[in-house]
Amino acid sequence: MAKLEGYYAVAGTKEGCYGKKYFYAIYDDGETYKAGDKIVVSGANKDILTIEEILTPDECNTNITAEVICKVDTSVYDKRVEERKEKATRKKEADKIKKQMDKMITEMDQTKRYEMYASDNPELAEKLKAYKELIGE
């Protein structure tokens, strides 16, 4: 692709799993771009990128062949993602508490069951009494 001209700034991004730097021309489109802004760019990249730095054309010694198409406001989407994460965290904590409660109820059920049967069976009542003495109840 041919080298672009006439842009007033360059957006530097880090892309991919290795964080390779790429640079995109910024034209005067009425927007003010800054580090942290999310953008869509021309060329092969179809992802939403985050600007890492803004350079002047003189500071960038790279042949710029792609440009910033527009700034993207992902705040509503980001809020939904954060709410999902919080909901998942709350669910995980609730599941943990439920598991603890289930364990307590199971133990209580077992004790109540022994006591219920012991009330009808004197031999079992003696064994339950001896058991409780051994465990310190």
* Per-residue pLDDT reduced to its tens digit, 34-69: 999 999 999 888 889 999 999 999 999 888 989 999
pLDDT score, position 111: 83
Distance CA 89, CA 69 (A): 36
Task: Give the pLDDT band (50/70/90) at residue 110.
Answer: confident
Share of the chain above pLDDT 70, in %: 99
| Residue 68 and residue 24 in contact, taking contact as beta carbons nearer than 8 Å | yes
Residue 36's region, left for phi above 0, alpha for psi from -120 to 50, else beta, is left
Per-residue model confidence (pLDDT) at position 94: 97
pTM of the model: 0.65
| pLDDT greater than 90 at residue 81 | yes
In the chain, where are the structural domains located?
9-73, 77-135
d(CA 79, CA 121): 62
3-state DSSP call for residue 11? Answer: strand
Cβ neighbours for 32, distance < 8 A, ≥ 6 positions apart: none
